[in-house]
């Protein structure tokens, strides 16, 4: 049993860390303050191969394992969560639906630009009245004369409205089967008549990421834009979310690690009563507990990634993903609280990164399935008849 990443993974970690510290770190404070999505950074991430890590070489990718993607997300997230989620969503929610369920024609059409960082894609699942209860989707798509006519709206969709967003995969009700909604996934290219991207949200955290509401008003796309088989959309997005939860767990690990790094640095530099505050037992113990949480979160995350890479059953991966996401996201939220406390009054000032970390953390317990949903998934895996 090994608890270490491979030498190749560690070399790759350094490459991504160097990129994050040189291309991201110097700018994040200004980007965050201005709510600016740095679209110019996306091609650079593409050149580094980040968007194509898990994509086969025939589509321009590296054909690497899922663990490599988690390493990249963790390292970007250690510097800035918004950039980390841009990669996580760009691959997990943008590329993955097309790669996993799309036709050869759809893959050839969309993947090369997405892999290269010349374009981004979104995944339209959440709606104003359908969040955790994704099966309550109200967006409808009716097949008329060889075209899907889409009507409805989506909320909180990442990478959906940037100047380089090329397509959004949208879940919609395409009928009923045995009295239950039939949900399918449909590709809707940016700029399609009837597809309106709403203004960006004014968010508490993740201010640098691109997030919009979407509206579809008699939006027409070809029948061939159906992703996979009709009526399989619900099954598809459940599989996509399982992978996404591991990725969010890696993002949370990056944030917790950043909090540990900043707390250690400050505890050694800041002096009170003639001694560094790290010499005070209260501070030392708080940072020690934070180090334990980081190690536990990282271990759970990479165990889940390993299970996926090893081809373990979907049921086993789902269970591990839920555990990792639940623990890591809650650990990250706690880590930001600890780091802010270590910094004292300075932790409340936006000039220090822990203030941004504090704002960014909470969404980790909500996106890709709330903590309550993760507990429900875990409970069901344990055989409990939870509703």
pLDDT of residue 233: 92
CA distance 248 to 84: 9
- Domains located in the chain, CATH noted: 7-119 (1.10.540.10), 122-232 (2.40.110.10), 234-381 (1.20.140.10)
Q: pLDDT tens, 9-32?
A: 999 999 999 999 999 999 999 999
pLDDT of residue 335: 98
Q: pLDDT tens, 260-291?
A: 999 999 999 999 999 999 999 999 999 999 99
DSSP string, 124-168: E--BTTBSS-GGG---EEEEETTEEEEEEEEEEEETSSSTTEEEE
pLDDT of residue 229: 96
pLDDT of residue 2: 78
Task: Reply yes or no on whether the pLDDT at 134 is more than 80.
Answer: no
When pLDDT is averaged across residues 338-366 and rounded to a whole number, the result is 97
* H or E segment and range at residue 155: strand 147-158
Q: pLDDT tens, 43-90?
A: 999 999 999 999 999 999 999 999 999 999 999 999 999 999 999 999
When pLDDT is averaged across residues 204-228 and rounded to a whole number, the result is 98
350 is catalytic: no
Radius of gyration from C-alpha coordinates of the chain: 21
> Which of these is catalytic: 351, 368, 372, 387?
368
CA distance 357 to 270: 20
Residue 1 confidence class, pLDDT cut points 50, 70, 90: low
pLDDT of residue 165: 98
pTM of the model: 0.96
């Amino acid at each position: 049993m090994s608890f270490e990443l491979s030498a190749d993974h560690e070399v790759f970690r350094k490459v991504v860390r160097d990129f994050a510290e040189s291309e991201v770190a110097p700018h994040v404070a200004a980007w965050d303050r201005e709510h600016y999505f740095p679209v110019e950074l996306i091609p650079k991430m593409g050149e580094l191969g980040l968007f194509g890590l898990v994509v086969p070489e025939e589509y321009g990718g590296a054909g690497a394992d899922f663990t490599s993607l988690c390493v990249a997300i963790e390292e970007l997230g250690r510097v800035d969560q918004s950039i980390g989620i841009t990669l996580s969503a760009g691959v997990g929610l943008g590329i993955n639906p097309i790669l996993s369920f799309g036709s050869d024609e759809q893959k050839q059409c969309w993947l090369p630009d997405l892999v290269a960082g010349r374009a981004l894609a979104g995944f339209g699942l959440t709606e104003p009245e359908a969040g955790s209860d994704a099966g309550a989707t109200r967006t409808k798509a009716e097949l008329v004369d060889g075209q899907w006519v889409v009507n409805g709206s989506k909320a909180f969709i990442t990478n959906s409205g940037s100047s380089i967003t090329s397509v959004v995969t949208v879940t919609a009700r395409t009928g009923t089967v045995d009295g239950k909604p039939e949900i399918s996934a449909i590709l809707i290219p940016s700029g399609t008549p009837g597809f309106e991207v709403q203004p960006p949200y004014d968010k508490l955290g993740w201010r640098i990421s691109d997030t919009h509401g979407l509206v579809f008003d008699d939006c027409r796309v070809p029948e061939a834009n159906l992703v996979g088989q009709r009526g399989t959309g619900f099954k598809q997005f459940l599989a996509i979310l399982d992978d996404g939860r591991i990725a969010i767990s890696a993002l949370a690990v990056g944030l917790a690690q950043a909090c540990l790094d900043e707390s250690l640095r400050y505890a050694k530099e800041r002096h009170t009563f003639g001694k560094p505050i790290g010499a005070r037992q209260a501070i030392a113990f708080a940072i020690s507990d934070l180090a334990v949480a980081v190690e536990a979160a990282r271990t759970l995350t990479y165990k889940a990634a390993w299970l996926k890479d090893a081809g373990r059953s979907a049921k086993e991966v789902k269970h591990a993903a839920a555990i990792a996401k639940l623990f890591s996201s809650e650990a990250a939220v706690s880590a930001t609280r600890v780091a802010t406390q270590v910094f004292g009054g300075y932790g409340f000032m936006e000039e220090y990164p822990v203030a941004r970390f504090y704002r960014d953390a909470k969404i980790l317990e909500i996106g890709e399935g709330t903590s309550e949903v993760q507990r429900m998934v875990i409970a069901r895996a344990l055989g409990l008849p939870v509703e």
